[in-house]
Chain A
């Protein structure tokens, strides 16, 4: 059953710690994305990758880092430099066709105290 898996569903960290959110897809999609969702602000793009070993910053990349060593995987690291990291993080992927729909994972809710 194809899909996108994000883990864990809930994550708690102390301020000052880096944390890595996992995203794995078995849809054979080329493009992968990370979005942040805050109440009343919709989805904001953090990073995206269209091919392996390449990625671009989105609108709110500061304080985040990513890697794309494998087609299936696109982990997101929330660093201590991110001023307000508590949020709902969504990973998505899309196919090769021009403007394919986004397929989202179930999300990771990160709480930093």
Chain B
């Protein structure tokens, strides 16, 4: 069945360091979405990638969709304490969302 794997599961960084989380699908995806969940909160939509090789930026966040549309990454430059939370990818092979297991980011001031 459809699987979306996400690594690493946990990441601790010093404030100011960069952070990257990777998402890999067992099948080709039509779209991929990224969400952020703050501690004690609910997931909030960040961005959607649709095209092969697509790169999108939101301030210090850079999102990439692989050429084969089976993997994606989220990179945060110069992390801040406000970046703390769990980042989820959601792969969409058809019309259903398959969430990765998430990467929990801790930023040490």
Contact = CB atoms under 8 A, between A and B. Distances in A.
Interface of A: 33, 35, 40-45, 48, 90, 98-99, 101-107
A38 to B, nearest CB: 10
22 contacts: A33-B97, A40-B9, A41-B101, A43-B88, A43-B99, A44-B99, A90-B42, A98-B95, A99-B30, A99-B48, A99-B95, A101-B33, A101-B45, A101-B48, A102-B35, A102-B43, A102-B45, A102-B90, A103-B45, A104-B42, A104-B43, A105-B42
Interface in B23-51: 30-31, 33, 35, 41-45, 48
Contact of A42 (B31, B33, B45, B102): B102
Interface of B: 6, 9, 30-31, 33, 35, 41-45, 48, 88, 90, 92, 95-97, 99-102
Contacts of B97: 33, 45, 102
Nearest to B50: A99
A35 B88 CA distance: 14
Contacts of A107: 42
Contacts, number: 44
Nearest to A6: B42
A42 B30 contact: no
A43 B43 contact: yes
Contacts of B6: 42
Contacts of A90: 42-43
